[in-house]
Structure formats: C-alpha cells, structure tokens
Structure 1
Amino acid sequence: MLYLASQSPRRRELLAQIGAVFSVLGVDIPEQRRAEELPQDYVHRVAREKAQAGLAMLHDDRRADAVVLGADTEVVLDGEVFGKPRDAADATAMLRRLSGRTHEVVSAVWLVRADRAVGDVCVSRVRFAALDEATIHAYIAGKEPFGKAGAYAIQGRGASLIEHLEGSYSGVMGLPLFETTRLLRALGVDADGSSQGCAA
C-alpha cells in the first residue's frame, strides 16, 4: 500500500497524475535548516524525515507492506533557502530578490518501507522576468504566494512571472514525477499502489 506523507494538494494532484492509488498521512516535521547544512542536503533530509514519520504513524499490521512517500521542495538563491513566506512583507522581499534572476528549485523525494529507503533529487533552474512593484503587489494581493516555497506557484498565476524553465515542471510544482516513478519501480510498487515484492 502506498501512502503520501503530505497534505499538499499539489502533491496529491501530481501523484494521481501518474495513476498512483494512495492514502494520505498528515505529518508535522520541523522544516528548519541546520547550521552549515547545504541546501540539497537539507531538502533531502526533510523529505526523508517526512516519509519516516509517516511510516512510524502506521500500525504494525499496515506497516509491513506499506511504502511511504515523503517530498520537500525549496527555492534556493545564492545559497539561501527561500521557504514559505511568513506574510505579505516577506513575500514581497522574496519576489524582489528573485526578480530578473535565475534561481534553483530543489525537489527531493524519498520512499521508505520497513526494510528499505530510496531517494532522489531533482534540481531545476528558473529565471524570473524583471518584476516591477505593481506586478509584485498585484500577485501578492491574489494570495497565491502564501504556502508556496519562494512565494510563487508555477501552476498558477506565478507562471506569468517565469521567463525560462530548465528542468522539471512537476519538480518545481512540488513532486518530480520522473524521479518518483523511477523510485516506485525500484521498490516494485505498481501505479495502483500494490507491491510486487522486494525489488533488488
């Protein structure tokens, strides 16, 4: 049985897009970068911890054949991780810094089961157009930036801010589907969520 350790509607939508059948687990993992922790290591760790926390929530009878998916996506500019904006002022500051610049979107996915864990990461490069103050304020007024890493949503109005994307659209959205599908196959999990035994 496949479980998604995330309440993100975007991740639910993306996982369903590849035909996966799954149940959702609500996990609460602190998303706090450690001192000297590289951005990619941080995103990997959080995704893995989400999956592990989800597996720990299951009763023993369900844990035996469960595969839990955890994912994390962060925007990185000049080595700094841009999480979700705290408020409108924070969102404004993020968008001003991203304006006219190319940043990375690091999206990690981990699959954990009782006897094995596998993970992968997708790094995309996103270039923003130069944004004037009116564009930034209008975008924030629509409330879309809130709850989104880097204060924008590529699948929404935020797409109009993006001049160029090099990498994975689904990865920027929150779950890199190519890497996710490859990991599911590695663990012998069919799209319907059933396990086909232990993969090598």
Structure 2
Amino acid sequence: MLQERLKNHKIILASGSPRRQQFLKDLKIDFEVRLKEIDESYPPDLTGSHIPDYLSELKADAYELEDDEILITGDTIVWHEGKPLEKPESELQAYTMIKSLAEKTHQVISSLCVKTIKKTIVVNDSAFVKFRALTDDEIIHYVKHYQPMDKAGAYGIQEWIGLIGVTGIEGSFFTVMGLPTHLLYKALYDITE
C-alpha cells in the first residue's frame, strides 16, 4: 500500500487550493502545506499540456528539499479554441470566459509534479467538459456569488455553475477539479521505488 511506502517520508503540498488539500486527505496521505509566491509566467510558444507541465515544474524548482521530503505541485488550465483560459483578472473577464464556454466543449488539462532531491516526475491528464447554453443572468449570478477569480477558465465544476450547466464530462472529474488523483497515486508510488 502507498501509505506504507510513504511512512518514512514527509509529504509537502505546495498548493493553497482547498480542493487539492481535500484530495490528499481523502487519499489518507499525511502532508503539510508550504506556499511560495511564484511568477507563473511561461514562454509564449507553449501550448496545451506543455503549459501546466512547465508551470508545475517551475513551482517545484522554487523549493529546497530535505532527504526525506516529497514535494507535490500542480497546475490546471482550460484549453479552448486554441488558447489557454487561465484565472480571470476581473469580473468582466470571468463573465467573458464563461460565456465563451457556453454551448461548447472545452479541454481541462491538469499537470502535477512530484519531486524529491533525487527524482522529478511530471505528468498530466486532460478531460473534456461540455456546457449547455447559459443565460447572461446565470453567468452574472455565478460571477457575483462565487469565486471565479481563483479558477482556471473562471469556473469550478463542483460549484453552482457546474451543477446547472455541465451536460457531459469525458475523462476524470478530479482532473477537471485540478488534481488527477489517479496519476498522483501512481507518481507517489513510483517516486518511492
């Protein structure tokens, strides 16, 4: 079992995301949260999964680790119509992003980096999410009453907009929420070999 393999390691989660923290708790992994401010810029020629892969590793490289520590970082983007939809910077931008997703299917790509002082594993997973048509009132309600500013693509699938608007998912629900847990489990297993 994974818990047995991790018993001599300290797991560090470099994420303030309550969703990612809850996933580790659900996996019965003991961890501590360590946060650093990181400039999340990336080369403009990166596309698709290369963006969250790059950012996950960039975040991991900011940490100095002890022999017994395993660091987990992650990043998620919404890839839609050939471009990334990251975290919105204003309510208007959040509205515009969600409006662009309505009646269409978009790709959510979540990457994670698992790192020790000896080894680094970067993996990603993608899922496809379809929204029904959304009215302006529905989008405005979501933007005003929820927290779209801290979410790639300006929405959280587990929140109201997901409950009333998502008509289909192809792939892992957890990938859409920001952490491909099946890949995390395997990466933690592999990094302790």
Instruction: State the alpha-carbon separation in 1 of the partners of residues 146 and 12 from structure 2.
Output: 30
1:95 partner SS: helix
Instruction: Give how far 1:8 is off.
Output: 1.3
2:102 aligned with 1:93:
no
Q: 2:171 aligns with which of 155, 167, 172?
A: 167
1:146 to 136, 149, 152: 149
Tell me, in whole angstroms, the C-alpha distance in 2 between the residues paired with 1:17 and 1:79.
34
Tell me the TM-score normalized by structure 1.
0.88
Q: Among the aligned pairs, what percent are the same residue?
A: 29
Corresponding position: 1:118 with 2:127: no
Question: What SS is found at the alignment partner of 1:35?
Answer: coil
Q: Counterpart amino acid of 2:32? A: S
CA distance in 2, matches of 1:4, 1:161: 31
Residue 180 of structure 2 is aligned to residue 176 of structure 1: yes
Match of 1:191 in 2: none
Q: Kindly report structure 1 stretches of 4+ aligned residues shifted beyond 4 Å.
A: none
User: Are 1:22 and 2:25 an aligned pair?
Assistant: no
- In 1, Cα distance between equivalents of 2:142 and 2:73: 29
- 2:182 aligned partner, one-letter code: F
Distance 2:138 2:159 in 1: 15
Q: How much is the aligned-residue C-alpha RMSD, in angstroms?
A: 1.2
Listed one character per residue, the Cα deviations across residues 28-61 of structure 1 (whole Å, up to 9, x for unaligned) are 222223221112111101111212223x2x5xxx
Q: Is 1:155 aligned to residue 164 of structure 2? A: no
SS at match of 2:124: strand
Say which SS state the counterpart of residue 113 (structure 2) adopts: strand
Q: Does the CA-based 8 Å contact 1:29-1:46 persist in structure 2? A: no
Aligned residues: 183
CA distance in 1, matches of 2:168, 2:40: 28
Q: 2:86 aligns with which of 60, 83, 87?
A: 83
Unaligned runs of 5+ in 2: 1-9
| Aligned ranges 1:118-137 → 2 under 5 Å | 118-137=121-140
CA-to-aligned-CA distance 1:156-185 (integer Å, 9 cap, x gap): 112222111111111111111000000011
Judge conservation of contact 1:52–1:68 (CA < 8 Å) in 2.
no
Instruction: Name the SS for the 1:138 alignment partner.
Output: helix
State the alpha-carbon separation in 2 of the partners of residues 74 and 144 from structure 1: 16
